[in-house]
Amino acid sequence: MIKTIDPTQLPQPELHGILLSAVAPRPICFASTVDKEGNVNLSPFSFFNVFSSNPPLMIFSPARSGRDNTTKHSYQNVKEVPEVVINIVNHSMVEQMSLASTAYDKGVNEFVKAGFTQVASEKVKPPRVGEAPVAFECKVTKVIELAELPGAGNLIFAEVKLIHINKGYMDENGTLDTTKLDLVGRMGGSWYTRASGDALFEILKPIRNKGIGVDQLPKGIRESEVLTGNNLGRLGNVERLPDETEIEKAAQWAKTEALSSKKDIHLRAQQLLEQGETKKALTILLYAEKFD
């Protein structure tokens, strides 16, 4: 059953809650800025992402307050000094980051309030967070105010000029290691998610090969009562169907495994898919098609 909603018919706080709960997890832009007097501000924003690598460009949005329509100090600061350091947040600093989101009075330094190390930048005036695994020194190239209503966003275009990476989060090849970064993402309400351990999983990108597509799988596989949409998506990413010789070998293996029904084979194939053995799973599934 589907509930259909016209966003124009909802109060802003309710619409805000739906958007932030559904569009998640969101990366966190921990932005350090300064005003024209040099006062430092540090604040997190989850309306944020990277939008280009050439030029390297990130956009974040300090939205207007849904309560009183005031603008954020970060927005005010980049209008005065068009520079920002975007610090990346991981789990070891997430509680401090949350504390920095407190609506302190203008002029209060959240580095001090939240207990972060303030490190001087090289190309911009705002300092960076010493505890951040990665920090991007940026020049603000454009600011787009979307509206003057409560909850309206203010898009800050930030072009990366210098990158600082803590080497402890790199692998032996000198590249950022996702498993070490332990990043966090913003969910709805007071919820966050942690990108580590079992929460991380790998899917081979279709850009590396041209998969045959789900439509090229036999009907019995496409309409399986066992296989999920994710299972079919993985099968559809193979570059070719196994040949008869490979299917015959799969038949012998299935017999040694005592797989005597089509459902048994589909269940075993699902296990193989979860173990990353896609080709073997598809081969026994094609063998199962002979059961019809």
Task: Write out pLDDT tens, residues 171-184.
Answer: 999 999 999 999 99
Q: Note whether 94 and 217 are same-domain residues.
A: no
The reported pLDDT for the residue numbered 201 is: 84
71 within domain boundaries = yes
**Residue 190 is assigned to a structural domain of this protein:** yes
- Residue at a domain's end among 138, 166, 198: 198
Residues 155 and 235 in one domain: no
Instruction: State the average pLDDT for the chain.
Output: 94
CB environment 94-104: b (16+ within 10 A), e (fewer): bebbbebbeeb
Whether residues 286 and 180 share a domain: the answer is no
- pLDDT tens digits, one per residue of 29-65: 999 999 999 999 999 999 999 999 999 999 999 999 9
Residues 138 and 82: beta-carbon distance below 8 Å: no
DSSP E strand stretches across 7-82: 29-34, 40-45, 48-53, 56-60
Q: How far apart are the first and last CA of the chain?
A: 35
Q: What's residue 208's pLDDT?
A: 63
pLDDT value at residue 6: 96
Q: What is the pLDDT of residues 222-249, one digit of tens each?
A: 999 999 999 999 999 999 999 999 999 9
Same domain, 21 and 137: yes
Residues 98 and 145 in one domain: yes
pLDDT digits (tens, 9 = 90+) for 119-178: 999 999 999 999 999 999 999 999 999 999 999 999 999 999 999 999 999 999 999 999
Q: Which of 198, 221, 242 is the last residue of a domain?
A: 198
Alpha-carbon span 220 to 292, nearest angstrom: 9
For the entire predicted model, the pTM comes to 0.87
Task: Look at residues 130, 141, 142, 178 and name the one whose alpha carbon lies nearest to residue 32.
Answer: 130
Residue 89, domain member (yes or no): yes
* Domain identity same for 49 and 119: yes
Residues 213 and 188 in one domain: no
Q: What is the number of domains present in the chain?
A: 2
Enclosing domain of residue 253:
206-291
Q: Identify whether residues 103 and 233 lie together within a single domain.
A: no
CATH of the domain at 12: 2.30.110.10
161 and 95 in a single domain? The answer is: yes
Give the residue from 198, 217, 252 where a domain finishes. 198
User: How many Å apart are CA 38 and CA 121, to the nearest integer?
Assistant: 14
Beta bridge partners of 157: 59, 142
Sheet strands side by side (includes 56-60): 40-45, 29-34, 83-88, 134-145, 154-165, 56-60, 48-53
Whether 218 is covered by a domain: the verdict is: yes
14 and 77 part of one domain = yes
Q: What are the CA-CA distances from residue 123 to residues 84, 88, 133, 134, 191 (Å)?
A: 10, 18, 19, 16, 35
Assess whether 36 and 61 both reside in one domain. Answer: yes
Q: Clarify whether residues 253 and 158 are in a common domain.
A: no
Instruction: Quick: pLDDT tens for 188-228.
Output: 999 999 999 999 988 877 656 688 999 999 999 999 999 99
Answer yes or no: is 1 within a domain.
no
